[in-house]
Structure 1
Amino acid sequence: MIANYQEPSFELFSIAHLTAIGGLGLSILVLSLFRKATPAPAKVERLFALTLLFMEVSYHAWMISSGRWMASQSLPLELCSISLMAAIVLLWTGNRHLIDFVFFAGIGGALQAMATPVLDIGFPHFRYFHFFYIHIGIILTALYFTWMKGYRPKFKGIMKTMLALNLLLPVIMAVNALTQGNYMFLREKPVNGSLLDYLGPYPWYILSLEGVAFIIFICLWQLFRGRRHSENK
């Protein structure tokens, strides 16, 4: 039976995919309803951080045990992997230097990943739950610190995040060259289709992606800036 087991494939906008998106929407709604409540105790924040870390460590353990782990694909160097690590440290330490990156890069990257997942294994496999749990977790962490802990996105936060991303680019490019990997899709576009298909050929889509990221960050800044302004009124 085990020898004949076939992992379930993931299909874009399938019931499983739409259910995950619905779970994100419901989670945001619940968090929004409690945004004026007292923030959770530090031990609860750390517990959530541990669940995110547990899911990520379990994912790497599964890849190693199944012979899937490769330096060219499995290092935590994708934007959402970096955002996840930043979110975990933010939840554990409360270090506000990390909030800008988690808010702008975390929400921007995780929303794009939720909409067009680079995922080959679907429900009910562990990988399905890992993928959507960590991406929803990144978004909820950013919104929690915004709605319940008083963080307010500022324009300089956008510039800090853009600077951080551009400092990461040469590092990621060097790792890609050493491992023949494609982290952050800096060597080629994903084969399953994504937003990058509309941003021109290589290498110009990298520059286009910078512009798209800046626009997304501006929209997030304006959206939450406007929400705070209306609440104050």
Structure 2
Amino acid sequence: MNWLSGSYEHVHFYMFSTSHIVVLVLLLLMILSLFIYRKKLADKNTRIGEWTAAFFLLGMEIAYHSWMIGTDLWTVNRSLPLELCSIATFLTIFLLITGNKLLYEILLFIGLLGASQALITPYLYFDFPHFRFFHFFFTHLLIFCTPLYFTWVKGYRPSFLSVVKTMIFLNVLASMIFVINKLTNGNYLFLRHKPETASMIDLLGPYPWYILSLEAVAFTLSIVIWLLFREKSATAVVEREFHHYF
């Protein structure tokens, strides 16, 4: 079968199949490698690698949209790059190119939370060796690992204010995409209904209450991520940050 074929025949993806388990093992190896070799990587000039990863992601996105157009799968109500992980893809690209701290602060939370959910419960129809399989998993692996790389290798750290910035970003984004969903009859960010395949959202109640539940979960888990990755002295400066900014 042609790897760019639009047919579902013989390549339907099943959660926790062999190919899925292999990807999860690869994710674990990537995380361990970044952590174990973080000091060696920090001593090297990694700009070529960062730019390579950025342009690889950009190339995958261009190839993905070209594939959808070529197979008549591209539609305005489901193919615009407005899903959280699509947005995280572009944040990852710009972070790898610019090293911008604000991009890191937002990507640390939405990258780890969004990509982990996507990697564990993929919203995917095509299995290995289809192009879409490679696009989906390579993209999400890089989204997940890039903020870890900037934390462990580049020395970036979140503050409590980073959580606040992320929640503001998500709420502004959701408001804009709510309007776009109305105009396109789309379901970007799953603001109109839950995904058709099994996901963690199934545990968060019916529409529209699961949206509020998602916000509470996102805030709670962002706090957990901040506690895990903050500077050792961050606890002592939380109150000072609040007084400074609020």
With structure 2 as the length reference, what TM-score do the two structures score? Answer: 0.88
**1 CA distance for matches of 2:148 and 2:123?**
24
Of all paired residues, the percent bearing the same amino acid is 50
Indicate whether 1:11 and 2:14 are aligned: yes
Residues 91 and 103 in structure 2, CA contact (< 8 A), matched pair in contact too: yes
1: CA distance, partners of 2:44 / 2:119: 26
Matched, 1:95 2:100: yes
Quick check: 1:51 aligned with 2:50?
A: no
Q: Is the 8 A contact 1:72 1:182 kept in 2?
A: yes
Match of 2:129?
A: 124
CA–CA distance in structure 2, aligned partners of residues 53 and 68 of structure 1: 20
User: How far did 1:6 drift?
Assistant: 2.4
Kindly report which structure 2 residues correspond to 1:125-204, keeping only aligned pairs within 5 A, or say none.
Answer: 125-204=130-209
1:207 maps to 212
SS in 2 for 1:51: helix
Q: Per-residue deviation at 1:40?
A: 3.8
In the alignment, is the contact (CA less than 8 A) between 2:8 and 2:125 conserved in 1? no
Which runs of structure 2 are paired with 1:106-117 in the superposition (5 Å)? 106-117=111-122
Contact 1:7 1:125 in 2 (8 A): no
Give the unaligned 5+ runs of structure 1. none
CA distance change for structure 1 residues 59 and 108 in 2, over 3 Å: closer, same or farther? same
Q: C-alpha separation between the residues in 1 aligned to 2:146 and 2:212?
A: 28
Residue 93 of structure 1: how far off its partner (Å): 1.4
The code of the aligned residue for 1:77 comes to L
**8 Å CA contact retained: 1:83, 1:106:** yes
CA separation of 1:95 and 1:187: change in aligned 2, threshold 3 A: same
Deviations 1:15-48 (A, max 9, x none): 1111111111111111111111225432221111
Report the secondary structure of 1:192's partner residue. coil
Q: Deviations over 1:64-84 (max 9, x none)?
A: 000000111110000111111
- What is the CA distance between 1:191 and its match in structure 2? 1.2
Moved over 4 A (4+): 1-5
Structure 1 Cα separation of the partners of residues 8 and 91 of structure 2:
36
User: Residues 64-119 of structure 1, C-alpha deviation per residue, up to 9 Å, x if partnerless?
Assistant: 00000011111000011111101100101112221111101111100010011100
Q: 1:33 aligns with which of 30, 36, 50?
A: 36
Q: Residue 240 of structure 2 corresponds to which residue in structure 1?
A: none
Structure 2: where are the runs of 5+ without partners?
234-246
Question: Would the alpha carbon gap of residues 12 and 5 (structure 1) be closer, same or farther in structure 2, given more than 3 Å must change?
Answer: closer
Match of 2:243 in 1: none
Cα RMSD (Å) of the superposition?
1.8
Between the two proteins, the alignment pairs up a number of residues equal to: 228
Residue in 2 that maps onto 1:23: 26
1-side partners of 2:69 and 2:31: how far apart? 33
